[in-house]
Structure 1
């Protein structure tokens, strides 16, 4: 019987401790839940308060970033334009040089006298052809045609300059 009393007493004590533990567990759980909700509410409050400031800072730095990006693109396009201008000037210089070479070649061919000491292999052949064709007297026809070409070119230049009469005003 004493064992039965002690058994019931210990069962009561254990159930009492379990109920106290359950009560403490529920109390601490609700306390921790309340603290967690409090911290979450404070975090949301701080997020709402500082979100406007963060948005202003981000938009300010985005404007600066876009400005720098635009300036770098402007510098890039200035470089592209400079390169294109250089290529245009290079092509114009090549064109002028080709014109000078063509003009000197033309003037040289006017005064061509075939001979053995001209310096290339074709000059002796051209000399033989020129001597063979001298019977037909093509040199007179060539001079007349050359005069016509030069006169046609001169009238063309005069016509071009005449059309520029009012262009400088």
Structure 2
């Protein structure tokens, strides 16, 4: 007798569980488009944020490049002054440099090296400014 009561409750709870799962699957089927729309909206917001962060990082990288070029240009210009101090090189190179230095100053090649260094910085800065100035919202130059 207890076996029949237990089987009856087992059958009843099995029917209730089956009804509950069918009800949940039906609700999921009805609400799936709404869930998809919410997921799409959040995904769109995330990708807009990623794009904004990438653009900000690009602008900062371009700014860092310009600041580096301008700082290098000014350090080159400030390097034109002769301070009279000797060059600090590693020991193996210092001996060779000390033998060559009088000839370099006699031929004034050190001043030519400063002029070439200034020219390199000047043309690099000019080319970078020209490239950055040519950027018009992604539409190439005409």
TM-score scaled by length of structure 2: 0.49
Whose Rg is larger?
1
Larger RCO of the pair (alpha carbons < 8 Å, separation 6+): 2
